[in-house]
Amino acid sequence: MKFLIAGLGNIGAEYDATRHNIGFDVADTFVIKNGGTFALDRHAFVSEVKWKGKTFIVIKPTTYMNLSGKAIKYWMDKEKIPMENMLVIVDELALPLGTIRIRGGGSAAGHNGLKSIETTLLTDKYQRLRFGIGSDFPKGRQVEFVLGKWKPSEVPMVKDMMLKSVDAIECFASQGIGKAMTFFNK
Q: How far apart are CA 150 and CA 146, in angstroms?
A: 9
- The catalytically annotated residue of 5, 10, 20, 25 is 20
Query: Percent of the chain, pLDDT > 90?
Result: 91
> For this structure, is 20 an active site residue?
yes
CA 50 to chain CA centroid, nearest Å: 18
Q: How far apart are CA 49 and CA 4, in angstroms?
A: 11
For 146, what's the count of Cα atoms within 13 Å in the CB-facing half-sphere? 20
Q: What is the pLDDT of residue 159?
A: 97
In the chain the domains, ranked by start, together with CATH numbers, are 2-184 (3.40.50.1470)
pLDDT band with cut points at 50, 70 and 90 for residue 30:
very high
Tens-place pLDDT, residues 88-103 = 999 999 999 999 999 9
Q: What is the pLDDT of residue 108?
A: 87
Contacts of 84 (CB under 8 A, 6+ apart): 127, 177
Contacts of 141 (CB under 8 A, 6+ apart): none
